Amino acid sequence: MDSTVCEIAPDVYRISTFHPEFGIQLNQFLVKDDEPLLMHTGLKKMFPATREAVASILDPAKLRWIGFSHFESDECGALNEWLSAAPQAQAACSVVGAMVMVNDFADRPARALADGEVLGIGRRRLRFLSTPHVPHCWDAGLFFDEVDQLLFCSDLFFHPGNPQPLAGDEVLGRARESIVQNLTGPLAKDMPYTPYTDATLRRLAELRPQTLALMHGSTFRGDGAAAIQNLAQFIQETLGECKS
């Protein structure tokens, strides 16, 4: 698997690897700053490709932070490989993620971030929002770059294929189509609709992001608040009434 690199915001690089078997992109984001951060590691088996892409931007051994939303292999499967490659690197995830999974799984303890806590990495301030079960998993959380209004939104707005690095409102249509398609098949019911879903998505919209860095699909540029509200409405209509 080969990775392609695209700068989607100043010093924020999208490292995209298309998985031919799954038919989806796995996108990692490298944030170049005083304390460089990699958002998601990608799968363990993708480590050589991701490492090579990181090396085209900075020395991989200089990586300081590895952020991710929730404990799944595409988010943090190569965590231990990165901890080994970068001696100063530390995982940054939710308190639940650290306590329940990562501090046992990983070779070094994680920095456990409380809801609303800010991770300063130099010029940038990354605010961590605890978002249990959004997009999925108890330990889920998302990082918001307050300097460039960029939300690293993990699996929200998921869409398959190998689309272009940057896109506008067309991302919404693709994400809505995927939610419907994902109601059936072996990987069905990836996104739960819980008593917290509406309030969590409302809170994300209130951040007024201008860039939504998707893990699977094109990065969205535009009115992020409107896009999240639109998605929230669709999720409510589609999943809120889903009984089977």
**∠ CA 166-213-65, rounded to 5°:** 135
- Give the shortest CB-74-to-Fe ion separation in angstroms: 4
Question: Could you tell me which residues come within 8 angstroms of residue 143 by beta carbon, excluding any fewer than 6 positions away?
Answer: 39, 67, 119, 126, 127, 128, 129, 151, 152
- Give the shortest CB-187-to-Fe ion separation in angstroms: 10
- CB nearer to Fe ion: give 182 or 230: 182
| Count of residues near Fe ion by CB under 5 A | 4
- CB nearer to Fe ion: give 14 or 33: 14
- Give the shortest CB-194-to-Fe ion separation in angstroms: 15
- CB nearer to Fe ion: give 33 or 74: 74
**Is residue 72 a contact residue for Fe ion (CB under 5 A)?**
yes
- Give the shortest CB-26-to-Fe ion separation in angstroms: 7
Q: Which two tokens stand for residue 108?
A: 């070094």
- Give the shortest CB-88-to-Fe ion separation in angstroms: 26
Which of the stretches 60-68, 70-78, 99-107, 110-118 binds Fe ion when contact is defined by CB under 5 A?
70-78
Which of the stretches 108-116, 151-159, 196-204, 230-238 binds Fe ion when contact is defined by CB under 5 A?
151-159
Burial class (CB in 10 A: 0-12, 13-18, 19+), 62: middle
Q: Which two tokens stand for residue 119?
A: 């991770």
Residue in the block written with tokens 């363990």: 44
- Give the shortest CB-235-to-Fe ion separation in angstroms: 15
- CB nearer to Fe ion: give 145 or 155: 155
Site for Fe ion, residues 197 to 216, rule: CB under 5 A: 215
Measuring CA to CA, how many Å separate 33 from each of 78, 119, 181?
22, 12, 38
Report the residue from 128, 145, 155, 178 that binds Fe ion according to the rule CB under 5 A.
155
User: DSSP letters along 100-156, please?
Assistant: IIIHHHSSS--EEEPTT-EEE-SS-EEEEEE-TTSSSSTT-EEEEETTTTEEE-TTT
Residue 12 CA to its chain's centroid (Å): 13
In this structure, the chain runs to a length of 244
**∠ CA 78-165-123, rounded to 5°:** 70
- CB nearer to Fe ion: give 74 or 145: 74
**Is residue 74 a contact residue for Fe ion (CB under 5 A)?**
yes
Q: What does the binding site for Fe ion look like in residue numbers (CB under 5 A)?
A: 72, 74, 155, 215
